[in-house]
Chains A and B, each alone.
Chain A
Amino acid sequence: MDLQCELCPRQCRIPPGGRGDCRIRVHLDGRLHAVTYGHPCTVHIDPVEKKPVFHFLPGTPTLSLATVGCNLHCKNCQNWEISQRNPEEVEALALPPEQLVALARQYQCPSISYTYTDPVVYYEYTLDTCTQARAAGLKNILVTAGYINREPARELFRVTDAARIDLKALSDKFYQDVCGATLKPVLDTILLARDMGLEVELIHLVIPTLNDRERDLQQLCRWVAEHLGRDVPLHFSRFYPQHLMAHLPPTPLATLNLARDIARAAGLYFVYLGNILEPDAATTWCPACKKPLVRRSGFSVLENRLQNGACPDCGKKVYGVWN
Chain B
Amino acid sequence: MELSRRIMLKTTMVLLTALVAGGWTWLRATPARWVQAVRVGRYPGRIKPLDERELQRPGRWAG
Binding site for B on A (CB under 8 A): 1-7, 13-14, 25, 28, 30-39, 42-47, 50-51, 64, 66, 68, 78-79, 82, 86-95, 103, 107, 115-116, 123-125, 127-128, 143, 149, 151-152, 299
Instruction: Indicate whether B38 reaches chain A with its CB closer than 8 angstroms.
Output: yes
- Residue of A with least CB distance to B29: A2
Q: Does B33 contact A6, Cβ atoms closer than 8 Å?
A: yes
A33 engages B62 (CB within 8 Å)? no
Given contacts A4-B34, A32-B34, A93-B50, contact A46 B44 (CB under 8 A): no
30 A–B pairs (Cβ distance < 8 Å), ordered by A:
A1-B32, A3-B31, A7-B34, A13-B31, A31-B37, A32-B38, A34-B39, A34-B41, A37-B40, A39-B41, A39-B47, A42-B61, A43-B50, A44-B55, A44-B58, A46-B58, A79-B61, A79-B63, A88-B45, A90-B45, A91-B46, A91-B48, A94-B47, A103-B55, A107-B55, A124-B37, A124-B39, A125-B39, A128-B39, A149-B35
B56 in the interface (beta carbon within 8 A): yes
- Let me know if B5 is at the binding interface, CB within 8 A: no
Min CB distance, B42 to chain A, in Å?
A: 5
Interface range, B side? 20 to 34
Which residues of chain B from 1 to 58 have a CB within 8 Å of any chain A CB? 27-28, 31-50, 54-58
Q: Is the interface of B mostly helix, strand, loop or mixed?
A: loop
Q: Cα distance A3–B33 when bound, in Å?
A: 6
The answer to whether A4 and B31 touch across the interface, beta carbons within 8 angstroms, is: yes
Give every chain B residue within 8 A of A7 (Cβ-Cβ): 34-37
In addition to A91-B45, A116-B59, A125-B41, 16 A-B residue pairs with Cβ atoms within 8 Å of each other are A2-B32, A4-B32, A5-B35, A6-B34, A43-B55, A45-B55, A50-B63, A90-B45, A91-B47, A91-B48, A93-B50, A94-B47, A103-B55, A124-B37, A143-B63, A152-B35
How many Å from the CB of A260 to the closest CB on chain B? 20
Q: Which residue of A lies closest to B34 (CB)?
A: A32
**A116 / chain B contacts, CB cutoff of 8 Å:** 59, 61-63
Known: A4-B31, A33-B42, A143-B63. A124 touches B36 (CB 8 A): yes
A4-B33, A115-B63 known; A31-B47 Cβ under 8 A: no
Nearest-neighbour CB distance to chain B for A224, whole angstroms, equals 20
The answer to whether residues A66 and B32 also contact, given A31-B38, A39-B41 and a CB cut-off of 8 A, is no
Q: Give the nearest-CB partner of B49 in chain A.
A: A93
In the assembled complex, the Cα of A125 lies from the Cα of B28 at a distance in Å of 31
Q: How far is the CA of A162 from the CA of B7 in the complex (A)?
A: 70
Q: How distant is A9 from chain B, measured CB to nearest CB, in Å? A: 13
